[in-house]
Amino acid sequence: MTDPSTAASGAAVSASEFVTGAEHVQTKPGKPRSLASDAWYDLRRRPRFIISAALILLVLLMAAWPSLFTSVDPNYADLDRSRLGPSAQAWFGYDNQGADIFARTIYGARASIVVGISATVFTVLLGGTLGLLAGYHGGWVDAVMSRVADIFFGLPFVLGAIVILSSFRATGGSSATEITLLVILSISVLSWPACMRITRAAAITAKQQDYVKAARALGASTSRIILRHLLPNILAPVLVYATIALGGFIGAEATLSFLGIGLHAPVVSWGVMIADSRDFLRIAPHTLLFPAAFLTATVLAFVMLGDAVREALDPKTR
Amino acid sequence: MTVESIVDSEAAGPLLAVDELFVEFRTRDGVAKVLNGVSYRVEAGETLAVLGESGSGKSVTAQTIMGILDTPPGVITGGEVRYHGENLLAASAKRRREVRGSGIAMIFQDALSALNPVFTVGFQIEEQLRVRRGMSRRDARKRAVELLDQVRIPNARDRVRQYPHEFSGGMRQRAMIAMSLALDPELLIADEPTTALDVTVQAQIMDLLREIQLDRHMGLILITHDLGVVAEVADRIAVMYAGRIVEQSDAVSLYRQPGHPYTQALLDSLPRLDLKGARLNTIKGLPPSLIDIPAGCPFHPRCPRVRDVCRTDVPPAHRPAAGRLSACHFAEELISGE
C-alpha cells in the first residue's frame, strides 16, 4: 500500500470521509461506494485494462461500422492482383482471389465478434442457470446436473464441434445466418459445463453465508434469496469467466472455420481468411499474417481484460 | 415434564414456548443428539439468556425456532415450538415465513457476513418493508432512516446509502439490529450478538438491546457464552449442557447460589480481580461427544461432586426451590449451601 493510487483507493474504502492530500474534494462525506464502483475506480488505473479496453473498442467499432475504416468492397476480387504484397493502394496486400486483405480483415471482425459475444451469452445463460440451480438445491438435482455436465466436459471440443456441425449442416441450409447460428450453438453446447461449475461453486459458497440465513430468518422466499442474495454475489467470477471465454470463442470460431466446418464464403471472418491462405503460406505469407495478427490481438485483449477485471473484483489482490 | 408446570411465571399465555425439543444431526460418523428435550419459554418484555459452551445446542435451538436449521443433516425428532400457542413446527411453510421477521426475528454473531455485501444497508432494510409491508420506496427509505436513528447510528440519512463494508464492527451490529426490527417483531433472538465485538462496544450493544426491548416490550432470547454479558441484562437464565437445559432460574438467584455443579463451575472459571495471583479455575475435561453422550448425568465425568447415582441415572429436571429448575440429583444441597 505504498503506491499512492492504491493507498487512496484503500482509504476511500475504509472511510470515505478520509480525504487524501490538501485538494478540495467536492463529493459528500457519506458518498457510497459499491463493489462495482470500487472495481471501476481500480480498473481505470490499470494500464492492462486501458490497453485491452482500447483494443476491444477498436475491434467493436470495426464490427459495427466497417465502412469507417475502409471504402473497399471486401468481396470484390480481381485475379490480376492475386497474392500481390502490401502496397500503398492495399496496405495488407491482396489474397489469392485478388481481394483486398485490409478490407477483408476489417469486415471479418463482425463475424468473429458476433460469434464470440453470442456464444458467450448462450454459454453463460445456460451454464449459469444450471449452475445456480444445482448449487442452491444440492442433493440429487446437483448430482444429476453435475453428471450431465461431466459428460459434456468429457467431449473433446474440436471433435464434438465437428460431429455437431457436420451432421446438422447437411439438413440445415447453408445461408450465412444459419451457419453462424449453428457455429454459435455448437460452441455453447460444448462450453457450458465450465461456466456451470463456476456458478455452482460460487452458489454453494454464497448459500452458506450468514446473510442468506439472515434473509431466511427475516422471511425471504426462495426465489428472492436466489435472485437478490445469490445472483449478485456470484456475478464477479461469472463476469471474469465470460470475458476470458469470449476471447477463447473467437479463437474457436477461427479454428472451426479453418477446419472447413465453421463459417465459409460468402461470410468473411478471420478464420475463413486463415483457411484460405493455408495453401500459399510459403509464397504469400502476408495472406496469413494480417488476419492471424488481428485474431491474436483480439483474443489477447479479451483475456487481458478478463484478468484485469478479476484483479479489480478480488479484494485480496489490492 | 414441561417448563410451565415447574417454573411459575405470569399467568398469561407465553409469547414463545419451546417444549421438549429433540434434534439430531445424522452425520457419517453416527447420530449426534444435539438437543435432548429442551424446554423454555419467553414472555413479552422478558429477557431470557441461554448460556452454554460451544456445541451445547444454544444456537441449534434458536435455528429450530426460526426454522432455518439445515435439514439435512438436522432432523427434528420431537417437541413443539409454540408461538402464541401455535405450534410452528407443524405450521405450513407460508405461515412460517409470515412469522419470521414480523413475529420472531434474529440477529447473528458476525454482522458483516450477515449483511449482503452487494447492497446498501438502507436497501436491505427497505426491501423487507417494501415486500412485506407494501411500502413505497420513499416511505421505506424514511422508515429505514428512523430505524438507523433508533439504533444510534450517527448521520443515519447518509449512512443509509452506504454498504456494509463501510461500517465499523459495532455499526454493522447496530445496522443488523435495525434490520431485524424493521417488521416490529414481538420476539428477538440474538445469537451471540457481541462475541465478535470489542469490550466497550459490547457494552454499548447490550445497552441498546436492553433499551429497545424495554421500549417495545419485546421478548428477547440472548444466546451467549459470556457470563459477564448476561449478568446485567437477563431476567432469567437457562444453562445448557450437551443439548439439555441443566439449570433454569432467575438471574439473581443463579448468581448468588447456583443450582447445578456445571453452573457453579462456569462461575468459578471467571477471572476475578479480588483473587489476583490465584490460579484461575477451569472445568476439567471436555464437553461430551454428542454422538456418544455418557450414561446418567451427561456432566458426571467432569463433575467435582460426582456420586454413584450420577453414573447410572439421568437426573430429572426438578424444582429445588421456588422459581428454579435444575437437572442435578443434588440441587437442593447445592442451593442450601450443603
pLDDT in tens, A216-269: 888 888 888 888 888 888 888 898 899 888 888 988 988 888 888 888 777 888
A219 vs B100: CB contact, 8 Å cut-off? yes
State the best of B118, B157, B183 to mutate against chain A, taking most chain A CBs within 10 Å: B118
pLDDT tens for each residue of A131-161: 999 998 888 999 999 999 999 988 898 898 9
- Identify the DSSP state of A147: H
Q: Which residues of A touch B100 (CB under 8 A)?
A: 216-219
Domain B3-103+183-336 has CATH 3.40.50.300: yes
User: Across the beta sheet with B47-51, what order do the strands follow?
Assistant: B104-107, B187-191, B219-224, B47-51, B236-241, B244-250, B325-326
pTM listed for this prediction: 0.71
Q: Which residues of A touch B127 (CB under 8 A)?
A: 228
In this predicted structure, the answer to whether residue A5 has a pLDDT above a threshold of 80 is: no
CA-based nearest residue in chain B for residue A221: B97
Number of other residues whose CB lies within 10 A of the CB of residue A89: 12
Angle at CA of residue A79, ends A75 and A82, nearest 5°: 95
Chain B residues close to A32, C-beta within 8 Å = 120, 161-163, 166
Q: How many CA atoms lie within 13 A of B7 on its CB side?
A: 22
> Residues A305, A240: contact at Cβ < 8 Å?
no
pLDDT tens digits, one per residue of B211-260: 888 888 899 999 988 787 787 788 889 999 888 888 898 888 888 888 88
Parse chain A into domains and list their residue ranges: 48-317
CA distances A121 to A126, A156, A194, B19, Å, are 8, 21, 14, 53
A188 HSE (CA, 13 A, CB side) = 20
Give the gap in angstroms from C-alpha B234 to the nearest C-alpha of chain A. Answer: 23
Record: contact B161-A211, CB cut-off 8 A: no
Amino acid residing at A235: L
Instruction: For residue A14, give the nearest of B238, B168, B251 by alpha carbon.
Output: B168
Residue that has been written with the C-alpha cell 472511510 in this structure: A15
- CA gap B68, A170 in Å, rounded: 55
CA atoms within 13 A on the CB side of A229: 27
Contact A218 B176 (CB under 8 A): no
Torsion of CA B188, B190, B191, B192, to 10 degrees: -170
Instruction: Supply the DSSP symbol for B124.
Output: H
- Tell me the C-alpha distance between A230 and A233, whole Å: 5
Report chain B's mean pLDDT, rounded to a whole number. Answer: 84
| Closest chain A residue by Cα to residue B63 | A217
Query: Cα–Cα distances in Å, from B236 out to A215, B51, B323?
Result: 29, 11, 10
Q: Where are the alpha helices (DSSP H) in A138-261?
A: 139-154, 157-171, 176-207, 210-217, 222-224, 231-258
Alpha carbons B114 and A306: distance in angstroms, whole number: 30
**A27 in contact with B, Cβ within 8 Å:** no
A16 in reach of chain B (CB within 8 A): yes
Contact A30 B155 (CB under 8 A): yes
Answer whether A13 sits within 8 Å of B166, measured CB to CB: yes
Partner residue facing B118 (CB), from A15, A224, A232: A232
**CB within 8 Å of A164: residues ≥ 6 apart:** A182, A185, A186, A189, A190
Chain B nearest-CA residue for A232: B118
Q: Where residue B269 falls among pLDDT bands split at 50, 70, 90?
A: confident
**Residues of B engaging A, defined by a Cβ cutoff of 8 Å:** 66, 68, 97-102, 105-106, 108, 110, 113-120, 127-128, 131-132, 155, 157-159, 161-163, 165-166, 176, 179-180, 182-183
CB contact under 8 A, B102 and A219: yes
State the complex-level ipTM: 0.71
Cell representation of residue A143 = 448430482
Min Cα–Cα distance to chain B from A212, Å: 7
Are residues B114 and A30, on separate chains, in Cβ contact within 8 Å?
no
In chain A, % helix, strand, coil (3-state, to 5) comes to 75, 0, 25
pLDDT at residue A198 above 90? yes
CA distance B280 to chain A (A): 35
Assigned superfamily of A48-317: MetI-like (1.10.3720.10)
More confident residue, B270 or A7: B270
Mean pLDDT, range A73-84, rounded to an integer: 78
Partner residue opposite A32 with nearest CB, options B108, B157, B162: B162
pLDDT tens profile A158-181:
898 988 888 887 655 567 788 888
Using CB atoms within 10 Å of the CB of residue A147, give its burial: 0 to 12 exposed, 13 to 18 middle, 19+ buried: exposed
pLDDT in tens, A9-24: 443 344 333 333 333 4
Closest by CA to A213, choosing from B82, B132, B106, is B106
8 Å CB contact of A219 and B128:
yes
Domain range list for chain B: 3-103+183-336
